[in-house]
Amino acid sequence: MKVLFATSELAPWVKTGGLGDVAGALPAALRALGMDVRVLVPAYPALLEAFPDAEEIAQPHWLGGLLPTPKLKQALAPDGTPLLLLDYPHYFDRPGNPYLGPEGRSWLDNHLRFGLLSRVAAWLGSEASTLDWQPDIVHCHDWQTGLAAAYLHYLPGRRAKSLFTLHNLAFQGLFDHASLFELGLPDAAWQIDGVEFYGYLSFLKAGLQHADAITTVSPSYAREIQTDAEGMGMAGLLRHRAENLSGILNGIDTHTWNPATDHHLHQTYGARHMDGKAANKASLQEELGLERRADLPLFAVVSRLTEQKGLDLLLAVAPQLLKLPAQLVVLGSGEHSMEHSWTALAQKHKSRCAVTIGFDEALAHRIEAGADIFAMPSRFEPCGLNQMYSLRYGTPPVVRATGGLADTVVDAADEKHGNGFVFGPATTDALLLALQRAATAWRDPKRWRLLQKHGMARDSSWAHAARQYIELYGKL
C-alpha cells in the first residue's frame, strides 16, 4: 500500500510539539512493516540545509485560486523514508517557527502557505499528478493539511482515499470568507456540511468533514471530543462521524528516548542498573544551580507554557510543593505572562526551583533522566509524549486523568500495574494532593522501585500503533 503523509512539522528538523515527533517516527515504523510511505513537508530552511542535494521531481501547476506553482524536491531521510519537499521560498524560507513570525504573531498568509501544502497533497493523490508514484491514501495531520481532504473531495477523476489525524482540536485553522476564493475552493464548499464554521473557513473542519476516516491520538481523547464540554464547537460533527472516528495511541521514538543509550545524559542507565539516575540528578541540580540534595524529591516539567497544560495550577501550588520539602525544575516556553510568573517564582526560591525559558531538546533529555517525578496536570491532552518519556526514564509522572494521560498512566493505588499518580478534577487541591502522594511514595524505596519498574517495562514503541494504522489503511 502506498501512503502519502502530509505534515507541517517533521522531527528532528522542524518541530513545535507532538505532531513533529509523530511525523518523524511513524513513517519509519510503517515502512518497517512493509508500507510504502513518503512524507510531504514544506521545504523550510532547516530541511533545505539538511538536504542540499534534494532533486527537483515535479512542478505542480494550475492549482487554482491564488495558489502559486511550487517545486517538489525529493530527498531521503536517514531512516530511509523518502521525503517530498514542497519548495516555494516565498512561503517557506522564513525565520523561526513554521506558523509564527518573529514577534510571535501568525503569518498573515498562513491560509495560502498551508493551503498550498494541502493542495499539493491532493494533487499528488489525484490523476493530475505527474509523478510515477501515486498514493492509495493521503494521510493528513491537523489543520495545516486538513484542507487536503476537501480538495480531494472536490477533485474530479480517480483519487486517493483520505485519512485525517487530529493531534489537537484547539488549533482550528480559521480564516475569513475571502480565503475560499484565494484557495481555489468552489462556492459550494461554503456550507455547514462543507468548510464553513461559524462564518469562518476552518481547515480543521474541512479535514473532519471530508476525510474518509478520522483518527485521533488516544482512545480517551476520541471519546472526550464527542462531548459538548470538550468538543470545542466540533462535537456535533464528530458525533456525526463517530463511525469513522477512532483513537490510536501514539508511540514514542524509542531510539532517541532510551536512557540506556541517550548521549545527552551525564550517565546512561537502565531498569536493572539505576545508579546512573542518581548521578544524572546530581549533575542536573548542578547544571541548573539548585542545591545538590539527594534527599529531596526533584519534580520536573517540560512543556509548552499554556493553560492547556494546567501549568497555572502547578504555579499556584508550587510554593507549597517546595515547602514539602521538594525541588522543581521547569523547561518551557509559551504565553509571556506565564513565562514571567515562572521566572519570578524561581528567583524567589533559588535553591529549590529552577526555570529555563526556551526550547532545548538536550536539556529535556537531561531533565527526564535527572528528575524523580514528572508533573503533567493538563486540562486536556490528546495524547502527550512527555509522560511516556518519563515512564521510560524511571521518572513516574503525576497526571490529570484526561486523554492520552489517562490511557498511559496507571495510578500507584494499583499495586500490580501502577506506574504514576493520577488525579481527577482540574483544581489546585487535587493536584497538590497527587504531588504529595508522589513525594510520600518516593520516600519508600521499595515501593518506588516497583513504580519505576512498571513504567520502564511499558512498551511505548511505534510498532503497535503502526499495526493499527495499517489495519485502517486496509479498510479504506
CB 124 within 8 A of CB 40: yes
Judged by CB under 6 A, the stretch of 16-24, 44-52, 141-149, 322-330 that binds ligand ADP is: 16-24
CA-based nearest residue to 322, from 398, 422, 435, 434: 435
CB nearer to ligand ADP: pick between 17 and 82: 17
339-344 long-range CB contacts below 8 Å, 24 or more apart?
339/305, 341/315, 342/305, 342/311, 342/315
CA 296 to each of CA 84, 389, 418, 451: distance values in angstroms, whole numbers, following the listed order = 49, 22, 22, 18
Using CB under 6 A as the binding rule, whether residue 379 contacts ligand ADP is answered as no
In the block, residue with C-alpha cell 490529570: 400
CB nearer to ligand ADP: pick between 74 and 333: 333
For the CA atoms of 77, 83, 86, 92, the dihedral, rounded to the nearest 10 degrees, stands at: -30
Using CB under 6 A as the binding rule, whether residue 375 contacts ligand ADP is answered as no
Name residue 355's amino acid.
Answer: V
Task: Give the CA count within 13 Å in the CB-facing half-sphere of 450.
Answer: 14
CB nearer to ligand ADP: pick between 129 and 218: 218
In the block, residue with C-alpha cell 489546585: 428
Rg, Å, the chain Cα set: 23
Using CB under 6 A as the binding rule, whether residue 331 contacts ligand ADP is answered as yes
Judged by CB under 6 A, the stretch of 77-85, 223-231, 266-274, 302-310 that binds ligand ADP is: 302-310
Using CB under 6 A as the binding rule, whether residue 21 contacts ligand ADP is answered as yes
Using CB under 6 A as the binding rule, whether residue 6 contacts ligand ADP is answered as no
Using CB under 6 A as the binding rule, whether residue 377 contacts ligand ADP is answered as no
| Least spacing, CB of residue 314 vs ligand ADP, in Å | 15
Using CB under 6 A as the binding rule, whether residue 360 contacts ligand ADP is answered as yes
Q: Is 76 helix (H, G, I), strand (E, B) or coil?
A: strand
CB nearer to ligand ADP: pick between 190 and 359: 359
Using CB under 6 A as the binding rule, whether residue 17 contacts ligand ADP is answered as yes
Task: Give φ, ψ of 333 to 5 degrees.
Answer: -150, 160
Q: How far apart are CA 164 and CA 241, in angstroms?
A: 12
CB nearer to ligand ADP: pick between 18 and 194: 18
| Least spacing, CB of residue 304 vs ligand ADP, in Å | 5
Using CB under 6 A as the binding rule, whether residue 385 contacts ligand ADP is answered as yes
Using CB under 6 A as the binding rule, whether residue 361 contacts ligand ADP is answered as yes
Using CB under 6 A as the binding rule, whether residue 72 contacts ligand ADP is answered as no
Using CB under 6 A as the binding rule, whether residue 359 contacts ligand ADP is answered as yes
Q: Does the N-terminal peptide bond of residue 12 adopt cis geometry, omega within 30 degrees of 0? A: yes
Using CB under 6 A as the binding rule, whether residue 291 contacts ligand ADP is answered as no
Which residue of 129, 256, 341, 386 would you call a contact of ligand ADP, by CB under 6 A? 386
CB 325 within 8 A of CB 352: yes
Using CB under 6 A as the binding rule, whether residue 307 contacts ligand ADP is answered as no
Q: Which residues pair with 58 in a beta bridge?
A: 72
Using CB under 6 A as the binding rule, whether residue 233 contacts ligand ADP is answered as no
Using CB under 6 A as the binding rule, whether residue 12 contacts ligand ADP is answered as no
CA-based nearest residue to 84, from 123, 32, 113, 112: 123
Helices vs strands, H then E, count in the chain:
18, 18
Task: Give φ, ψ of 73 to 5 degrees.
Answer: -115, 150
CB 120 within 8 A of CB 40: yes
Using CB under 6 A as the binding rule, whether residue 124 contacts ligand ADP is answered as no
| Least spacing, CB of residue 368 vs ligand ADP, in Å | 8
CB nearer to ligand ADP: pick between 170 and 192: 170
Which residue of 4, 6, 13, 18 would you call a contact of ligand ADP, by CB under 6 A? 18
Judged by CB under 6 A, the stretch of 107-115, 117-125, 198-206, 379-387 that binds ligand ADP is: 379-387
CB nearer to ligand ADP: pick between 17 and 270: 17
Using CB under 6 A as the binding rule, whether residue 302 contacts ligand ADP is answered as yes
CB 438 within 8 A of CB 373: yes
Count, residues near ligand ADP per rule CB under 6 A: 17
Q: How far apart are CA 253 and CA 462, in angstroms?
A: 7
Which residue of 134, 244, 333, 461 would you call a contact of ligand ADP, by CB under 6 A? 333
CB nearer to ligand ADP: pick between 335 and 360: 360
CA-based nearest residue to 441, from 433, 453, 431, 451: 451
Using CB under 6 A as the binding rule, whether residue 214 contacts ligand ADP is answered as no
| Least spacing, CB of residue 168 vs ligand ADP, in Å | 6
Using CB under 6 A as the binding rule, whether residue 395 contacts ligand ADP is answered as no
| Least spacing, CB of residue 363 vs ligand ADP, in Å | 7
Using CB under 6 A as the binding rule, whether residue 303 contacts ligand ADP is answered as yes
CB nearer to ligand ADP: pick between 385 and 439: 385
Q: How far apart are CA 26 and CA 217, in angstroms?
A: 12
Name residue 157's amino acid.
Answer: G
CA-based nearest residue to 120, from 58, 74, 179, 171: 58
In the block, residue with C-alpha cell 491514501: 137
Residues in the site for ligand ADP, rule: CB under 6 A? 17-18, 21, 302-304, 331-333, 359-361, 364, 383-386
